[in-house]
Amino acid sequence: MSDKVVKFGGSSLASAEQFRKVAAIINGDPKRKYVVPSAPGKRFSDDIKVTDMLYKCCELAGSGVDFTDDFQLIKDRYNGIISELGIDMSLDEEFDSITKELKARPSKDFAASRGEYLNGKVLAKYLGFNFVDAADVIVFDTKGSLLLDETVKAVRERLSSLDNAVIPGFYGKTTEGYIKTFSRGGSDVTGSIIANAVRAEIYENWTDVSGFLVADPRIVENPDVIEVITYRELRELAYMGASVLHEDAIFPVRSAGIPINIRNTNRPEDAGTMIVSDDYNFSRESIKHTITGIAGKKGFSTINIEKAMMNNETGFGMKVLQVLFNNGLSFEHMPSGIDTMSITVSSDKLDPVRDKVIAELRKAVAPDHIEIEDGIALLAVVGRRMKNTRGTVARIFASMAHARVNVKMIDQGSSELNVIIGVSENDLPEAIRRIYDMFINSEK
Ligand code: ASP
């Protein structure tokens, strides 16, 4: 029997009520043996995450200010959960030693890690599971980069003799013995590493949404959940800003061929989204729609360059890109015509060097005309099935035409995994809604 690794995010463990749901999920499947918790998150929208409270205590400690009151709020969160669940335990000793350490050495990483550490202690006790300190198994080098091989070895050694374990997310220890955290949201990464180490059959990532949505719910009303998405498709959508999972959580499971299942702690009956490898054997039933997701991102500018006979001029593109390089600009897209070239860049990055870039481009390639157009949004239609389906692009542009949206740029990647369209920022919501209608509503 292979095992499942289950990670629960902060909102899934924000209160005693949430702990009960989590325990029911874990107890509902004997394969759910390895549990990775986050620190208690928000219970309501204005609430403060324990991690943020810990950062604050550390900041106060660092400036020599008394942080007793702020730390008391943290104690209250844990003590509230413990007493409401009726668990027979006290974290008083832990609280004291954390306070002492913060006074002596106010390290941000140490402070933040205690949220997961304490929550792991409580959850292990509540479930009757073993507690394994992440500091003993997740290894970082002295610069703070994860040492995956050493970590996998340590996790295997530690877990081999245990039937179950709660391993707190988000942190580990450097080879010099200092506590080190991943970047925010990093418990996702811990879960992925544990799944790799135990060769889990699946990595379940439990959160407060029922998976990835086909489109942004602020734009499309009640969008469908994506049932199955490949790692590559996910990367395309994540680049456009769709976020549920920490970026670094992909690699450890992807390299081991382990699927991730995004699940909702508050709706465990929902199947969620399965993230699978690119060569996954898709069953016929999972093919519901031609496209997988639609995403949009604002804040781009295009530098439009025109010059007669551009196509005959050797090194034209190279000179243009050299100017961008000299100004520290990376480009997102660069479609070109015979006498035109248009380069999409982030407006934020362009702003500080805008005039300089234009002046240098004038000098480098002597264009007939050059201009910058701001207020551009990129819209990505992503889907592994587009490659084998005719007419997809035609349908996308028919949607644009019906919406009277002017298309400014088109880019289809060679992988045919996505079509990227540049539109004016004002047109973005309507464009997304029309594409959603065309591909999701009309295919129902
Ligand atoms: N608690 C940490 C954060 O708020 C890590 C995590 O939740 O994954 O970022």
Q: Whose CA is nearest to atom 2 of ligand 1?
A: 185
Q: Which of 216, 365, 202 is nearest to 275 (CA)?
A: 202
Whole-number Å distance between alpha carbons of 371 and 250: 40
CATH fold of 293-443:
VC0802-like (3.30.2130)
Closest atom of ligand 1 to 190 CA is 8
Name the pTM for this structure: 0.88
- What distance in angstroms lies between residue 170's CA and the mean position of ligand 1's atoms? 6
d(CA 113, ligand 1 centre) in Å:
9
Domain 4-208 belongs to what architecture? Answer: 3-Layer(aba) Sandwich (3.40)
Domain-by-domain residue ranges, the chain? Answer: 4-208, 293-443
Provide the pLDDT for residue 142: 95
Separation of CA 282 and ligand 1 centre (Å): 33
Cβ of residue 169 lying under 6 Å from some atom of ligand 1:
yes
Contact indicator for 334, 285 with CB cutoff of 8 Å: no
Does ligand 1 come within 6 angstroms of the Cβ of 206? no
* Interval between CA 187 and ligand 1 midpoint (Å): 6
Q: Does the Cβ of 186 fall within 6 Å of ligand 1?
A: yes
Mutate to test the pocket of ligand 1, among 8, 18, 38, 118 (most ligand atoms within 8 A of CB): 38
Atom of ligand 1 nearest to the CA of 39: 1
Q: How far apart are CA 428 and CA 377, in angstroms?
A: 7
Residue 387: the pLDDT is 83
- 411-441 pLDDT, tens digit per residue, is 887 778 899 999 999 999 999 999 999 999 8
d(CA 441, CA 289): 10
Q: Is 168 in the pocket of ligand 1 (CB under 6 A)?
A: no
Compute the distance between CA of residue 17 and CA of residue 383 in angstroms, rounded to an integer: 38
CA of 186 from ligand 1 middle (Å) equals: 6
Q: Which of 24, 48, 61, 66 is nearest to 115 (CA)?
A: 48
Residue 38 beta carbon below 6 angstroms from any ligand 1 atom: yes
Spatial separation of the C-alpha atoms in residues 116 and 187, rounded to whole Å = 9
Tokens of 213: 């949505």
CA of 53 to the centre of ligand 1 (A): 12
Smallest CA-to-CA distance from 9 within 123, 163, 86, 93 is with 123
- CA dist 308 and 367 (Å) reads 8
Burial 236-250 (b: 16+ CB within 10 A, else e): bbbbbebebbbebbb
Q: How crowded is residue 163: how many other Cβ atoms within 10 Å of its Cβ?
A: 9
For position 288, what pLDDT does the model report?
Answer: 75
With tokens 């489109």, the residue in question is: 215
Give me the residues of the chain with pLDDT under 50, please. none
Q: What residue's CA is closest to ligand 1, atom 8? A: 185
247 vs 93, 203, 250, 280, 405, CA distance in Å?
Answer: 36, 15, 6, 21, 32
Question: Is the distance from the beta carbon of residue 51 to the nearest atom of ligand 1 less than 6 Å?
Answer: yes
